Amino acid sequence: MRSLLASIHPVSHCGAVNALSVAGQRGQAMMEGLLILMLLALLWVAVAWLGHLQDMALSAQHASRHVAFLLTRKPADDMLGPVLQQHFTGPAHQWSDRRGKPMLGGHGSVQHDTDRQSVLAQAAQPGGDDPSAGSLRRSWGLQDEGILTAKVRVTPQSWANLSARGNFASGLNDFNKYPVLHRHTAILTGAGHAGNDARAAHIVAQSPLAWGDSATISYALGKKIGTVMGPVDTPWHRDHPVFDWLTPWKGDVPAARLADAQQGGQ
């Protein structure tokens, strides 16, 4: 009997130890699982937070480019407000925080500014620093008066979850705050472009060096010759000389440069 009890006692002791070990492992696995869930929740919040910022930053960059190119054609900024709004409103720009509240929408949440503080040196201007080239640049509107920098500033609304202090949610407070986003686009303006034929003729005519001085001399000589040759040409019904040498070019675009707009030509 004693030998039988001696043989049973070690077996019962080992079983109790194994049961305690299994229970301890289960408790450890539960804690590890909770930790992983917390990390996944933190990662989910961080990805959403960063995604909103990246999307707003991309819209701000697009807006700054749009404003910069718009100002190269139309210096007035009366249309900049609607242009900015189209980059931050609409179904594609519905940014909301974890409460479901809009991240933008307050007064001054989207602002823009422009400056021309950076000016190209004369040697970097078209034609270099040659005096004649400088005269042509100024008369044709090619002289750079400063690199246009269009700036867009986006200020998302931030909030603090003060009631969540002391628990896991308090660790997410940093994701309730959003940094101010700054984006800008710098572009050269004043390329001497014209929106129509009449404007092109005006740009050419306003340059004394490229057109005005030579044209004035030619006009004077042509009028003298016309006064003498007019009576001679009258019996032949020839047209009198025309001294408007720019306006008749209006609309005279080579056919090879034209395309049907209905066919998608430019």
What is the pLDDT at residue 19?
53
pLDDT at 262: 45
Q: Which residues of the chain have pLDDT under 70?
A: 1-27, 74-79, 106-107, 160-171, 253-255, 257-266
Structure tokens of 27?
């408790």
For residues 63 and 83, the answer to whether their CB atoms sit within 8 Å is yes
Residue spans of the domains in the chain: they are: 8-95+103-187, 197-251
pLDDT in tens, 198-221: 778 888 888 888 888 888 899 889
pLDDT score recorded for residue 122: 78
Tokens of 11: 């077996």
Residues 6+ apart with CB under 8 A from 193: none
pLDDT in tens, 106-119: 667 888 888 887 77
161 phi and psi angles, rounded to 5 deg = -90, 75
> Tokens at residue 186, please?
């710098």
